[in-house]
A and B are shown apart, each in its own frame.
Chain A
Amino acid sequence: MTSAPLPRVPHAAGRILDAQLHLMDRQVLDHDGVPVTTVDDLEVSGPALDVEIARGTPPPVITALLTGSVLGTRIFGGRPPSSRLIRIPWKDVAEVGVVVRLGVKGEPLDASWVERWVRDKIIARIPGGRHDPR
């Protein structure tokens, strides 16, 4: 481009996070460093679709990280209905870096139900599957 360089954004006090660059598809670890899931999408508090935004409307904020079975829709397009996505509330997020770290244990989260189900229904029924290997 031959036009003059664009002005820089007025300085904001907090850390800058670009959704695609810093959050989407990052791995999520719980506070013990155990992998929980990946960030498939984000939920924001607004704005309402197709409604004129009045001047001075407070900006929307991220309310939750979303995860779920998105492999099919990644290949064929679209996204699963909102009700099928699992939410990890933003208040549980402790750190955003190379990975997203939660400040809570991953075990009780909805995001890891498949792993719990496989452990309790399949692995536990294999002889020796209920205790640590010795």
Chain B
Amino acid sequence: MILGDLLGTPVLDADGGRLGRVADVRFVLDGAPHQLMAEPRLLGLVVGPHSAASFMGYERNGLTRPYMIARILRWRHRGSFLVLWEDVAMVGARSVRLRPGFTRYSTALEDGAEA
């Protein structure tokens, strides 16, 4: 499938309750090794409850400058969380459904501060 189709798709919990939209898709470079780089394996989906897309990733890294922009963008992306691939029950054309009892993880990147 084409990843752009997944971005912005509404995310629902197992009962059909709306959680937000797919703001980004996280990959980890630990798939099958190729000659140059390993294959990126899908780790999970970044879900944003208030916005359809993430802009500049301030909620995922530790950057605080320029101060006003960082404050505004962090506020806009407040409540974002990451769900792992294991917790995704179905990817549809119009929505993504999660498994019952899924875990919300922090969206912070490894080198970034807590979001």
Chain B residues packing against A (C-beta within 8 Å): 1-5, 7, 23-32, 34-44, 46, 53-54, 57, 60, 78-79, 81-82, 84-86, 88-93, 103-110, 114-115
A19 surroundings in chain B (CB, below 8 A) = 3, 7, 24-27
Which residue of B is nearest A64, CB measured? B2
- Whether the Cβ atoms of B23 and A61 lie closer than 8 Å is no
**Candidate in A12, A41, A51, A96 with the most chain B CB atoms within 10 angstroms:** A12
- Whether the Cβ atoms of A15 and B42 lie closer than 8 Å is no
Which of B81, B85, B89, B92 contacts A59, CB < 8 Å? B85
- Whether the Cβ atoms of A14 and B29 lie closer than 8 Å is yes
Q: A18-B24, A49-B92, A52-B90 are in contact. Are A12 and B43 (CB under 8 A)?
A: yes
Distance (Å) between the CB of A33 and the closest chain B CB?
Answer: 16
Cβ contacts A70-86/B at 8 Å (1 or 0 each): 00000000010010010
